[in-house]
Amino acid sequence: MFDKAQVPVLGMIQNMALWECPDCGRIDHIFGEGGVKKEAEKRAIELLGEIPLSLSIRTGADAGVPVVIAEPDSHHAKTYREIARQVLAKIKIDDVQDA
Ligand SMILES: [Zn+2]
So where are the chain's domains? 12-98
Residues around ligand 1, an ion, CB closer than 5 A: 21, 23-24, 26
> In angstroms, what is the span from residue 55 Cα to ligand 1's centroid?
14
The predicted structure's pLDDT at residue 86: 95
Strand partners, 49: 13
> If you ran DSSP here, which 8-state letter would residue 15 be given?
T
Query: Beta-strand (E) ranges in 1-99?
Result: 12-14, 19-20, 27-28, 47-50
20 C-alpha to center of ligand 1: Å?
A: 8
Q: For 39-84, what is each residue's pLDDT tens digit?
A: 999 999 999 999 999 998 999 999 999 999 999 999 999 999 999 9
Residue 60 near residue 72, CB atoms below 8 Å? no
Cα separation, 31 vs 47, whole angstroms:
17
Split at pLDDT 50, 70, 90, the class of 7 is confident
